[in-house]
Amino acid sequence: MRWLLRAAAFVLVLGSVHPAQGDGADPVVAVVGREVGDLGPLLASLRLQPAVVAELSAIPEGAAAVLVLADGGAGPRALTEADGRRLEDLVAAGARVFLEYARLPEGSLGCTSAAEPRRPLYERLVVLTPLGALQPEDLLEEHDQACLPLVRLPPGAEVLLEYDRALGTYRRIPTPDPGLFSVTVDLGSEQVLAGASQRYGAGQPNYRPESVEVSFSRDGSTFRPAGRTDTVPMPETVRFELPREPARFVRFAARKFRRSPVTDFFFMGEVEVSDAAGHNLALNAPYTVASTRGQSPGYGDSGGELTDGRVEGLYTDGLSVGWGTAPVPADNRFPL
């Protein structure tokens, strides 16, 4: 479970709860949710011991602050009229109430919510007017919010600026694509390429990809696209002609989702890269496979079967690499 940066903002405000406590007693902070998750270390750093409750009706009396977390589903937490009255009572008693991703009953807390609340997945925070050393158009923060763990940087992210305890500033991290599976073959040296092919499905048409793109590179970092197909049905062997240019790396990027009970796996097989004379330059070449998903037990990559010259048959023969597929993401769905 990943908590949102929005939750970090809750905690920043909560940090100011302490000075208001004149009697030395710890303020009661109620968290409505299944668990505090990544909020735990932040609350601990603020020396706040949260009361975690499943329902608003269980919020302790005298709570100084209430964090109503998203319920972990795809949509907003739906609050009942009784929930709305409970929140109004808490606010009237002096509590601060923070709703992460929720739909309030009409009129609750004086709010009119005409539209379904939507979770912001992408945020950009930019300076509009001069502010100290900051100038207009300075970029403070840019990220896919749903991809950010609360208390640690995502892989590859870089802190550009810290302006409070929990809110950092990161470069944008692309949303992981659970439907993408790629293999990149290193030919060892630049060669003039004429064509490339890869076999898919491991003998089972339902386990072939929905689309395949091929690209090539001289340095392994900048790739040029050289072809794409989304033929239906996808052939067992997908072939592309390549521009007859020197390149050292060839990449096949296939996409596949679980659209029915029988498209629950994706398999890739033998790769060939040919020169003008038809020689297979990829034979026994090293390669790298990549996916956001783990390879299926029993069908993992040994490091050689995709270029060993042995053409795979049915997936049971161990000569192909397989993954379980992911369901098709819905638009604007929070990637759990």
Interaction site with Ca ion (CB under 5 A):
270, 305, 308, 310, 319
Q: Residue 33: CA atoms inside 13 Å, Cβ hemisphere, count?
A: 28
**Pairing status of strand 246-255 against strand 211-217:** antiparallel
The nearer residue to Ca ion, 49 or 316, going by C-beta atoms, is 316
Tokens of 69: 């977390």
The nearer residue to Ca ion, 8 or 268, going by C-beta atoms, is 268
261, burial (CB in 10 Å: exposed 0-12, middle 13-18, buried 19+): exposed
Helix (H) or strand (E) holding 324: strand 321-324
8 Å CB contact between 4 and 145: yes
8 Å CB contact between 222 and 248: no
**Shortest spacing between CB 12 and Ca ion, in angstroms:** 54
Query: Rounded to an integer, what distance in angstroms lies between the CA atom of residue 79 and that of residue 56?
Result: 9
Amino acid at 309: G
The nearer residue to Ca ion, 320 or 325, going by C-beta atoms, is 320
8 Å CB contact between 303 and 185: no
**Shortest spacing between CB 328 and Ca ion, in angstroms:** 30
**Shortest spacing between CB 236 and Ca ion, in angstroms:** 14
Instruction: For residue 334, give the DSSP letter.
Output: -
**Shortest spacing between CB 311 and Ca ion, in angstroms:** 6
The nearer residue to Ca ion, 100 or 305, going by C-beta atoms, is 305
The nearer residue to Ca ion, 21 or 302, going by C-beta atoms, is 302
8 Å CB contact between 111 and 88: no
**Shortest spacing between CB 307 and Ca ion, in angstroms:** 7
The nearer residue to Ca ion, 219 or 317, going by C-beta atoms, is 317
8 Å CB contact between 275 and 194: yes
**Shortest spacing between CB 240 and Ca ion, in angstroms:** 19
For residue 300, give Cα distances in angstroms to 94, 106, 290, 313, 318: 57, 52, 12, 15, 8
**Shortest spacing between CB 216 and Ca ion, in angstroms:** 21
- Angle value at C-alpha 51, between 164 and 18, nearest 5 degrees: 40
The nearer residue to Ca ion, 88 or 308, going by C-beta atoms, is 308
> Residue with structure tokens 């929720």?
102
The nearer residue to Ca ion, 213 or 270, going by C-beta atoms, is 270
**Shortest spacing between CB 290 and Ca ion, in angstroms:** 18
**Shortest spacing between CB 322 and Ca ion, in angstroms:** 13
- 302 contacts: CB under 8 Å, gap ≥ 6: none
Beta bridge partners of 212: 229, 254
The nearer residue to Ca ion, 144 or 270, going by C-beta atoms, is 270
